[in-house]
Copies of this chain bind each other. A is one copy, B any other.
Amino acid sequence: MDASQALPQVESFLQQHADRFVDELKDLLRIPSVSADSRHRDDVRQAANYVKERLEAAGLTAELVETAGHPIVYGEWTGAPGAPTALVYGHYDVQPPDPLDRWETPPFEPTVRDGRIYARGATDDKGQMYTHIKSVEAWLQTVGQLPVNVKFVIEGEEEVGSDNLDRFLEEQKERCRCDIVVVSDTSQYAPGIPAITYGLRGIMACEVTLHGPSQDLHSGVFGGAVANPANAMSRLIASLHDDEGRVTIPGFYDDVVPLTPEERQGFADLPFDEQEFLDGVGMTAPFGEPGYSTLERRWARPTCDVNGMISGYTGEGPKTIVPHYATAKITCRLVPDQDAQQLTENLRRHLEEQCPPGLRMEFQDYHGCPAIVSDPTSAAMDAARRAIATAFGNDPVMIREGGSIPVVSTFRDKLGVDTLLLGWGQNTDNLHSPNEHFRLEDFHRGTRASARLWAELVSST
């Protein structure tokens, strides 16, 4: 196949069908596939079926693979024997949409405003993932073949820890064999500055509950004579940082690989307007670990954040009780070479040791994965760089990101391959927040970059 003849056909197809692609994405976004909420179990499956159908319509074979949780959609086209094989990973599940009252339009009624499509999952990850299905369709419906073999693994549990993906990759190792993994679940660096992400933070997540009295108690009759779970929880959480903002979980920084001077310089050279960053999130001042820049804090330093907490009466007005329990959800972002499992155990013990008399602590370990940093100069990275430069009209910058994509380390461990993290959206697209959106221009450029990537990858391995 001559890519120089094939590509114009492919790109013409992408242009002609651009509106249909958006309509299809809307159909997918309408499905409230919230994996964390068991009430949405059927919706999650419906989203899986939709993805499977779209893969088949594009010209791949596809199926739903059952797991102990939500199904995995597997698809493939392997008509290029001898050529490299790329595996596209993505996820069709989404974060919970609450707080609902802060959405301008409902989270599962996709709406286009100012060239952006608004919906939960618009960018994370339905919209970004969908670009690869459409780019493959463009090749197969025009040229009739792809320059490389492609496989798709689209899961439905990314937002709840990808619990069943490991077993799938283990059991279907042969089927998933590939030379490179392609994931679009990160972001561009900024509008007009596309990026390839060569590093991700890891994560550990848990939920801690302090059980106190058998029920809420009158704070007048009992207050002062029994341990208050809400006060105690606050003390536990407060004990996770020192006064300067450093994390105080025992051993937390022991295995942290320091940033190299070159990396720090690279970060410093990136255009970054701190005031604009703060304005964008509605904050008046920066905050964080002393001695590090905001980009370093976000990309390459570990954290410990409460994601949610609840105790006692939270309705309107006062209620004079000692709550019978308090719960907090806690996540730490990790960097190389922190060990999620060991640090989770250290955290559990640290909290347990401080639990006051009379309270019982319950600790639920949700999931964890290590951080990952890849070689930014590999042949596959070069291929991606060329594809992106053409589609976006700008060379991508090499960055790290603060989020975690546990599957990247899984692919390295189970399949022995690297992952290309190619983000088409912006990190201001409100992923995980109300009013999540995705610029349609980015959606279309991402699709074009994906289509180019298949040609560029031929010579990359």
Contacts and interface: CB of A to CB of B under 8 A. Distances in A.
Interface string A293-312: 01001100111111111111
Interface residues of A, number: 106
A357 B36 contact: no
Interface string A86-105: 00000000011011001000
Given A160-B318, A215-B282, A221-B403, 11 more contacts: A99-B216, A187-B221, A203-B220, A219-B331, A221-B402, A223-B305, A224-B302, A234-B238, A287-B357, A309-B312, A310-B314
Interface string A208-233: 00001111111111111111101101
A308 B230 contact: yes
Contact of A308 (B96, B298, B311): B311
* 7 tightest Cβ-Cβ pairs between the two chains A and B: A214-B282, A220-B403, A308-B312, A36-B317, A234-B237, A238-B238, A230-B306
A280 to B, nearest CB: 9
B217 A432 contact: yes
**Which of A220, A228, A283, A366 has most chain B Cβ within 10 Å?**
A220
Interface in A166-198: 187
Interface of A: 35-38, 95-96, 98-99, 102, 159-161, 187, 201, 203, 205, 207, 212-228, 230-231, 233-241, 277-278, 281-289, 294, 297-298, 301-324, 326-329, 331, 333, 356-358, 360, 366-367, 401-404, 427, 430-435
A161 to B, nearest CB: 7
Given A283-B358, A285-B358, A323 B307 contact: yes
Contacts of A285: 227, 357-358
A221 B234 CA distance: 25
Contact of A430 (B215, B303, B307, B430): B215
A244 to B, nearest CB: 11
Given A283-B358, A308-B230, A321-B307, A315 B224 contact: no
A308 B231 CA distance: 10
B307 A310 contact: no
Contacts of A301: 224
Contacts of A305: 219, 223-224, 228, 230-231, 322
A343 B278 CA distance: 35
A173 to B, nearest CB: 28
Contacts of A314: 308-310, 327, 329
B215 A434 contact: yes
Contact of A241 (B96, B231, B358): B231
A307 B219 contact: yes
A321 B284 CA distance: 19
Given A220-B333, A303-B219, A316 B36 contact: yes
Given A213-B282, A225-B287, A356-B287, A319 B432 contact: yes
Nearest to A311: B309
A36 B318 contact: yes
B221 A298 contact: yes
